[in-house]
Amino acid sequence: MPVIKHPRFIEPLCHEWDRKAQKCGLRHTVYAVNGDQYTGEWQDNLKHGKGTQIWKSTGAIYSGDWKFGMRDGYGSYSVPDPETKEYKKMYTGWWEKDRRGGRGVYFYSNGEQYDGEWRKGLRSGWGKMHYKDGSVYEGQWLKDKPNGQGVLRLANGNRYEGGWKNGKKHGSGKYFYPDKGQLLEGTWVADIPKCGALVDFERENAAAPTEFPLPEIELHDPAAVLEEARAMFDDNHN
For the segment 154-207, what is each residue's pLDDT rounded down to a tens digit?
Answer: 999 999 999 999 999 999 999 999 888 899 999 999 999 999 888 877 666 666
How far, in Å, CA of 127 to CA of 144, rounded?
A: 10
> What pTM does this model have?
0.76
Same domain, 55 and 82: yes
Domain of residue 161: give its range: 122-233
Q: Under 8 Å CB-to-CB from 138, ≥6 apart: which residues?
A: 127, 128, 129, 150, 151, 153
Same domain, 130 and 72: no
Q: Under 8 Å CB-to-CB from 190, ≥6 apart: which residues?
A: 165, 168, 169, 170
How far, in Å, CA of 154 to CA of 147, rounded?
A: 18
Q: How many domains does the chain have?
A: 2
Tens-digit pLDDT profile for residues 87-143: 999 999 999 999 999 999 999 999 999 999 999 999 999 999 999 999 999 999 999
Same domain, 168 and 192: yes
Same domain, 40 and 103: yes
Same domain, 142 and 191: yes
